[in-house]
Structures are given as C-alpha cells and as structure tokens.
C-alpha cells in the first residue's frame, strides 16, 4: 500500500491461548496450585496480537499484567478454564501454555474444613481434570487448524514430547527442558525444541519473549500457507 506497510500476517485470524496455573479448591479458603508464572503464555498471546490475530487469553491467577490488545478471561480452576476455552471457539489457532492441574479435589467442601480435635488429618480424594489441549485437538468441526501444546520434561525430552503429541492429537509441541542445569522454571528464559509430526527442531536458549515472537512468526507462516 501507499505507506509501504504490509498487512499484519495474522489479521483476520482468531487465536486462543491458555496461560498460568489453575487453582483447585479444597474448601472456600484453601486450594491446590502449582508454580507456573504465566510468563510464557502471556508473552505468546501478546506476540500473536502484535501479528494481528484477534487473541483471547484464558488465564489462571498470575502476577502478569493483561497483555495489550488481548481479550483476557481470568479463571481459577481447570474446569473453568475448559469452559472459557469452549466459549472462545471457533478459533484458527490454539496454544495451550497453561500448567493445568492434573487433579482436583473430588468433593470440595462448601464450608471451611475444621480440625476435629483428635489431631487426625483429613484425606483428600482426587479426581482427574479434563485435558483441555486434547479436547481442543479432538473438537471435530470446531478443531482449530493449528493446535499447539507445551511439555515440560526433566528427562527424555524429545521422546516424552513426541508421546504427548501423539496422545493428545495436537499439531506441535514446544518441548521445554526443565532438568536441573538447563532448568529455569519460573525464570525468564527457556531451552525448547519445536516438535512436529516431521521431527524435532532445537531452538537456541532464548528469553520467553523471544520464544513467543519466534513461535508467533512460525504460526503466521504456517496458517497463511495452509489457508490461502
């Protein structure tokens, strides 16, 4: 055009990103959670929005500010995250970066649990949470064209990540090496491999912001070549 500006590569596309931990209630005042910071997921949502995608971020509780130009739905539990993701469909791109709790308390109490005076401790019965990534990848007619997950592994990185790719039916996995030495859980940089059906590609150690930009760029190349 006149200004020499190129159209944003993801203009007209809708993207869904999950980020952060989930909180699974035990009773009205207590919960089970994990140490996810939400930094990587929030950075990915921001990067997709910068490339022009209409971006919806479904996030558990984090200290991250809402990214600019992104519609953010704040949820707590895995089941709330699932509901918000389903409500966001249809989308062209889904990136599941959240550290979804694998289990919730099966029968969370409506009232605060009290010590019974005998010194005995309650036993928590757990139930398995829905797998949001696998659900999106199996959404039939509503399946996003590109479904991307993360895998944080401490050993057999590629092997475990390829297993997850197959099991969950997604298109790509960002395999994150969190073994001690390379591990930066909660930190600002990541050592990742991009796993696709055709193989594994090692990325150099980068900040989470750089990983987000590179991933968004890759998504833009893929989505525009497969739909036009």
Kindly list the residues in this chain that would bind Ca ion in the complex (CB under 5 A). Answer: 102
The Cα 142–Cα 126 span in angstroms is 30
Site for ligand CTP in 164-223 (CB under 6 A): 164
CA 25 vs. chain centroid, Å, equals: 20
170 CB neighbour count, 10 Å cutoff: 24
Stretch that binds ligand CTP, among 55-63, 149-157, 189-197, 219-227 (CB under 6 A): 149-157
The Cα 32–Cα 126 span in angstroms is 11
Residue 152 in contact with ligand CTP, rule: CB under 6 A: yes
Please select the residue that binds ligand CTP; options are 37, 40, 59, 129, rule is CB under 6 A.
129
Tell me whether residue 176 or residue 213 sits nearer to ligand CTP (CB atom). 176
The interface partner of residue 43, options being Ca ion, ligand CTP, none and the CB cut-off 5 to 8 Å by kind, is none
Closest to 40 (Cα-Cα) out of 21, 15, 12? 21
Closest to 184 (Cα-Cα) out of 19, 41, 39? 39
C-beta separation of 211 from 43 below 8 A: yes
Say if residue 131 carries a ligand binding annotation: yes
Say if residue 102 carries a ligand binding annotation: yes
For the annotated binding site for CTP, the residues are: 102, 112, 130-133, 150, 164, 168
Residues in contact with ligand CTP by the rule CB under 6 A: 18, 78, 96, 98, 100, 102, 129, 131-133, 149-152, 164
């Amino acid at each position: 055009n006149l200004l020499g500006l190129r159209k944003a590569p993801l203009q007209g596309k809708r993207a869904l990103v999950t980020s952060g931990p989930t909180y699974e209630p035990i009773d009205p005042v207590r919960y089970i959670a994990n140490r996810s910071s939400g930094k990587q997921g929030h950075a990915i949502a921001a990067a997709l929005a910068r490339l022009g995608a209409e971006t919806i971020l479904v996030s558990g509780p984090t200290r991250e500010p809402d990214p600019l130009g992104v519609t953010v739905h704040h949820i707590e539990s895995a089941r709330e995250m699932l509901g918000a993701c389903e409500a966001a469909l249809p989308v062209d791109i889904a990136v599941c970066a959240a550290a979804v709790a694998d289990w919730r308390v099966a029968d969370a109490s409506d009232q605060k649990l009290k010590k019974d005076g005998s010194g005995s401790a309650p036993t928590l019965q757990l139930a398995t949470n829905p797998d949001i990534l696998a659900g999106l990848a199996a959404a039939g007619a509503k399946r996003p064209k590109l479904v991307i997950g993360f895998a944080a592994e401490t050993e057999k990185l590629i092997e475990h990540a390829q297993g997850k790719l197959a099991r969950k039916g997604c298109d790509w996995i960002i395999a994150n090496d969190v073994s001690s030495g390379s591990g930066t859980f909660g930190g600002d940089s990541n050592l990742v491999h991009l796993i696709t059906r055709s193989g594994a590609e090692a990325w150099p150690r980068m900040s989470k912001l750089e990983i987000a930009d590179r991933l968004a760029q890759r998504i833009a190349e893929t989505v525009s070549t497969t739909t036009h």
